[in-house]
Amino acid sequence: MRILLVADIHGNRPALEAIREPYDVALFLGDAVEYGVEPAPCIDWVRKRCAYSVRGNHDHGTAHDVPRPPVTQHGFKYLTGPTRALTRERISEADRRTLAGWPLTQFLTLDGVRIMMVHATPRDPLDEYAPPDVNFWARRLEGIDVDVICVGHTHRPYALEVGKTLVINPGSVGLQREGDPRGSYAVLSGRDYELKRFEYPVAEAVAAVEAAPLADEVKHLLTGAYRDGQLPNGKASPGPSKP
Ligand SMILES: [Fe+2]
């Protein structure tokens, strides 16, 4: 069984639609929305294709209009405010209910493999930044008896063997922060995995941002991130807490 893992789409429809991977089951690990300007088709894609989904911090923020970070923030944190307003304008009430309805965690067994899904970590399902660190994950997995834990949030693909558990993070489909503009996802087959990068029509995502009613600074940051895989002008250091 090929299990497709997707996370952190962030409203980037051209990236999402460029995934050409055969799969039997798709799992979504949170953050369908915010930053990118085409949230509705991304929510719809997840609703139609992903058998199981969990809520990300940005899905939660949009669904409940959580107070936005102050505009004095830099980098990606700064972008959350203006793009949340646009996201809320561009989704329907049914879309909002879909975001709010995704659970924080899911436990499932596929092909005999026991899987936990969570956007960030079991301790803090929405917000905690989990580095690719065995000791960090060993503490987070205490008392959790699964074969594989699938996570997102960091926008950094990685896989770690932590005791008897595989920790896998497919990286981000739609918003890169480490200098590689390609999207990423993962495929899980039993306990085997592949972390994959894919090209997508970046110009289409840039054009959608340019056409959106956003401030010039917001457009500059977003389109720079799409083109270069990181925020322009050294602003790619928003701290690790809100990817
Ligand atoms: Fe994210």
Reported as a single tens digit per residue, the pLDDT across 123-171 is 999 999 999 999 999 999 999 999 999 999 999 999 999 999 999 999 9
- Which secondary-structure segment (H or E) carries 194? strand 192-198
| 152 alpha carbon – ligand 1 mean position (Å) | 7
| pLDDT of 240 over the 80 cut | no
Instruction: Give the CA angle between residues 84, 223, 48 to the nearest 5°.
Output: 55
| 173 alpha carbon – ligand 1 mean position (Å) | 10
Full-prediction pTM beyond 0.85? yes
| 144 alpha carbon – ligand 1 mean position (Å) | 24
| 4 alpha carbon – ligand 1 mean position (Å) | 18
| pLDDT of 241 over the 50 cut | no
Domains and CATH numbers, the chain: 3-105+171-228 (3.60.21.10)
| 29 alpha carbon – ligand 1 mean position (Å) | 10
Q: Tokens at residue 212, please?
A: 């959106």
Residue 166, SS3 per DSSP: strand
Task: Write down the pLDDT at residue 78.
Answer: 83
| 58 alpha carbon – ligand 1 mean position (Å) | 7
d(CA 6, CA 26): 8
d(CA 132, CA 142): 17
